Amino acid sequence: MGIPGLMTYMNQHSDVHLQRYSLHDSYLVIDGNSLASQLYTYDTKSNSCFGGDYDKYAYCISNFFDELLRCNITPLVIIDGGSEDKKMNTIYKRTRDKIHAARNLMPSRQTRSVLFPLLLKETFKNILSQKNIKCAQSLFEADDDLASVARLLNCPVLSFDSDFYVFDVMYVPYNTLDNGIVRNPNGNGFMKNCKVYKIDFFLQRFPHMDRTLMPLAATLLGNDYISRSNFKDFFSTLKLPKTSKRKFNGQQRMIEATFRWLENQTLDNAVAKVLSKLNPSKREKILEVMEMVINGYLVASPRMLLPLGFSPEFVNNLLQKFPNKSYKFQQDVNNLKVIYEPKADNDDETDLSCDEDSGGSDDKLDIVMPENESNLCKIVPLWFIQEFNAANYPSYFIDMLTRQIYVCPVQIEDYSQPTCINVSLKLIRVIFKLLSSGTTNCNTLEYVTRGKLTSIVRDKLQCDDSIFNCKFPALSRLREMPLMIRKEILDNTLEVTDQVMNEFPPEWRLYIATIKHWVNEAQPQFGTNCHLYALLFTMLFHVIDKKIGFHRSQSYVDKKFGQQLNALRQSRQNLHYQPATNMYVYQAYSMVNPDDCLLALRFFLSNFSMDQSLLMNPKKFHISTVHAFSLFQNCLRHSCHLNALLGYPYPHPNIAELLNSTLLYNLYNCFKQRHDIDVYISNVLQTSPSLLQLFVSMLATVRSMFAKAIDNRINVGKRRKNRNKNRGNLQSPDDEDAYDAENDNVSYYDANNRYSMLMNQG
């Protein structure tokens, strides 16, 4: 939710509100959405301008939770679900802001503007799954669930949201966490130092105020459910404290005045006094929302404990020890005694009685009722709710079910091209129809995406009732269908067959299938041989990391493996390996040698970093290259989500092990300059024969499936003058530039020059 200005207000008195605290030997409830974004923003040294370096991000996530586990902390992660009506205007505004930020995102500006990569949430959840961290997903916004679990378990909650200053919980703001962990001086093990907020600390400044009045303060000051403008008549009589306007703006003074007014009130009397100043025709509706908001802060619901792995017996025992008492106004709202109070003379230039963006008339209430979870549970099967609560699905599934809308995520892309979401519309159509069949039975999905340049458009996607000449199964029957049938739905959507897919390790299959879909759906200039080779070659770093560990520093590698590397290079100086063309991928994958990985590591490390000349010369940054791989990421996002909805007919690909956008960008530019990519790769991997064999096997297996991209060549250079005239016509196999363009009838295409094809028109 969030209360405007409250975080700033609390920070102004942080010496009182926050106290030192040591995390160890306890549960820690974690706001997953907040942590995922904070770790990327402040800890991950990623190149957002290329689309995201998921391996580096995953490494930061893994380190964070490793530290918690070393402190004997049990993390309980809860992430947000679908959007509520109260959030839609905010979501549209943030989408516009992200689109503007993405358009201006370049290497020289990426440190000033953060754009989260498209697959951030998938990467975050993958790491949690690998580490067996308990994770659950609320059906809608997670704040109430986070606070409820923290109160029931009497443990802190980690987030970065002003709402947690109102909930009666121990709240650890993310920005107060110390780097690293230290030894616990009072016992064995480690602890992580931070600062914690408690309402008790806050009440030191307001000693006569009851803690149950905090939710009323949040209601009056405005949140996503109810605007402050509804209480303008109340605020018009509120005397603001006389403080320096330089130090405290009008908003901060209003927050202070609200708490001062509440200090000598009981909850019921305070509600009565507020309502008495409102138009009698509005009181009942406003009271309904006030009670709902107050109880959201006061009542602890146990609903997320079961998805987090706690037994029903444990939950029942806990509830017996933790009785909940909801608030209900005790007076007659229609017969409140009206006490006249003159308007306060606050001598303030700004009208603080209503929100600047309210725009509502005096007769219109500015309130939003919360989503009714029971309504959703009536239309979807129990297994869907359980799998959603288990964080198996993306949050937008709920948006599709409840309001038939999809707000498409923002990517870094070429704004002179159509939006990247177009490449995934076939996948989105199948996802939506599987969700709506037998539930809403709707055939039209509205999706919000980028239009021309930075505009936002709302398009409609029409969806038929049949798929591949068969009627869509009802969502309630989807899990009753054999897994093989569900797999056929995914295979037919991606247009792949088992004959090719079964050649690859299981964890690669959906990734390869998605490449196929990208090749089919992307415009030709974004699905060339260089793009394809870059995607396939990048997959090798997954194998290298598996064999020798995660390394991204050349100096560290030289220090740790220097002697071993020198010996290996000496022994393989004259090695000329000819890979077999008929070896199965799975066999080649199992035969990869760690020494070969170590020798190939230098080449990969040199391409994991951004070319520093891009910082000095923005014209060298080619957004069209980024756009091509943004299209692929968009396909991957939706193929993974369809795979999850169908019950994982394919193992979920580990995105962080397969996708690094800086590496992709650099490899593409490298391959684009080569006359023969195969010869070049053979040279690069000549001293790493098992990796070369794996790549050759991969390429041989997919050659027919990706013929469209392989034949779409952009790396056909001009014929070189023969520098070896005196040596005859023999060409060295080691010369990767030995290539005669006249022997190839493929036209030259420059992805960064829209007019290049005109040069080849006869």
pLDDT in tens, 584-602: 999 999 999 999 999 999 9
* Contact (CB, 8 A) for 137 and 389: yes
pLDDT in tens, 271-280: 999 999 888 8
* Domain termination site, one of 205, 239, 269: 205
Burial of 244 (0-12, 13-18, 19+ CB in 10 A): exposed
Same domain, 10 and 147: yes
The residue with tokens 């999706």 is 447
* Domain termination site, one of 480, 514, 538: 480
CA 15 to the chain's CA centroid: 33
Same domain, 470 and 497: no
Other residues' Cβ atoms within 10 Å of the Cβ of residue 195: 17
Domain limits for position 447 = 373-480
Share of the chain above pLDDT 70, in %: 88
* Contact (CB, 8 A) for 206 and 16: no
Same domain, 457 and 579: no
Same domain, 472 and 545: no
Mean pLDDT of the chain: 87
pLDDT the model gives residue 722: 47
178 assigned to some structural domain: yes
156 assigned to some structural domain: yes
Same domain, 427 and 530: no
Same domain, 474 and 590: no
187: domain CATH number is 3.40.50.1010
pLDDT the model gives residue 340: 65
pLDDT in tens, 90-106: 888 889 889 988 888 88
653 assigned to some structural domain: yes
Task: List alpha helices for 236-282, DSSP H.
Answer: 250-262, 267-276
pLDDT the model gives residue 367: 58
Same domain, 466 and 553: no
342 assigned to some structural domain: no
Per the rule left: phi > 0, alpha: psi between -120 and 50, beta: everything else, 348 is: beta
* pLDDT average, residue stretch 712-741: 47
CA distance 382 to 388: 10
User: Is the pLDDT reported for residue 369 higher than 90?
Assistant: no
Q: Which residue has the higher pLDDT, 372 or 632?
A: 632
Contacts with 358 (C-beta within 8 Å, 6 or more apart), sequence order:
227, 229, 366
Of the candidate ranges 60-69, 379-388, 710-719, the one whose mean pLDDT is the lowest: 710-719
pLDDT the model gives residue 100: 87
134 assigned to some structural domain: yes
259 assigned to some structural domain: no
CA 429 to the chain's CA centroid: 22
Domain count, the chain: 3
DSSP 539-585: THHHHHHHHH-----HHHHHHHHHHHHHHHHHHTTT------SS--H
* Domain termination site, one of 480, 505, 526: 480
Same domain, 543 and 655: yes
385 assigned to some structural domain: yes
Same domain, 384 and 446: yes
Best CA proximity match to 101, nearest among 396, 406, 413, 457? 413
Q: Which uninterrupted H or E stretch holds 73?
A: strand 73-79
* pLDDT average, residue stretch 176-185: 95
Same domain, 9 and 131: yes
Best CA proximity match to 695, nearest among 551, 596, 553? 596
Best CA proximity match to 548, nearest among 690, 682, 665, 698? 690
pLDDT in tens, 495-550: 999 888 999 999 999 999 999 999 999 999 999 999 999 999 999 999 999 999 99
327 assigned to some structural domain: no
Same domain, 537 and 651: yes
Same domain, 416 and 523: no
